[in-house]
Amino acid sequence: MILTGIAGVIQSICYYTQLPEKVASHFGPSGIPDSWMPRLANLCVSLAIFIGMTVMMFYTPKLMTILPARFVNLPNRDYWLDHNRKKQTIQDITERMSLFGLAINSFFIFITHLVFKANLAQPVKLDENAVLMALGIFMLFLAGWLFAFIRRFRKTTSKGH
């Protein structure tokens, strides 16, 4: 996850010098741009996304070690954050958040690349089929990730949990 965050930052910096001064930042139907921003603002938004998401995915599980359990939103929180299970629970959540961070950073890397290519095209146009494909793949991943997360943290009496 951290490597994809770094890759996203490097990608954004490398693309910065190749983009025009005015960058299409939002696209409407058929991939036609409907909002623009200065190149530097675009870079700042990209960096904020990659750094922010990576930091959030990395530190969220760590906050669970210092926050009172009542501030943690987790299915069957009292069961999973019981003194006997808390360490394993935090380890499991850390691994799951790392996987989610890897997926979301990869998604943003791909979308950033598509926006970069769109801004270099004449006329400027986003490949909406590629965006929809990436979004579909990410949504399938998200559904599976959520299913596995909820399934893992359902209250259970089996010995493995």
pLDDT above 90 (res 45): yes
Q: What is the pLDDT of residue 158?
A: 53
**Amino acid at residue number 45:** V
Cα–Cα nearest to 24, from 159, 106, 117, 119:
119
Q: Answer yes or no: is 86 within a domain.
A: yes
Cα–Cα nearest to 105, from 143, 147, 141:
141
Q: Answer yes or no: is 160 within a domain.
A: no
pLDDT tens per residue across span 114-142: 999 999 999 999 999 999 999 999 999 99
pLDDT tens per residue across span 69-119: 888 888 888 888 888 988 999 999 999 999 999 999 999 999 999 999 999
- Domain that includes residue 71, residue range: 2-152
Q: Answer yes or no: is 98 within a domain.
A: yes
Q: Answer yes or no: is 159 within a domain.
A: no
| 20: Cβ contacts below 8 Å, ≥ 6 apart | 39, 119
Q: Answer yes or no: is 157 within a domain.
A: no
* Spatial separation of the C-alpha atoms in residues 71 and 83, rounded to whole Å: 16
**In the chain, how many domains are there?**
1
Q: What is the pLDDT of residue 159?
A: 53
Q: What is the pLDDT of residue 154?
A: 84
Q: Which residues pair with 26 in a beta bridge?
A: 35
- Radius of gyration, CA atoms only, the chain: 19
Q: Answer yes or no: is 23 within a domain.
A: yes
Q: What is the pLDDT of residue 28?
A: 92
Residue count of the chain:
161
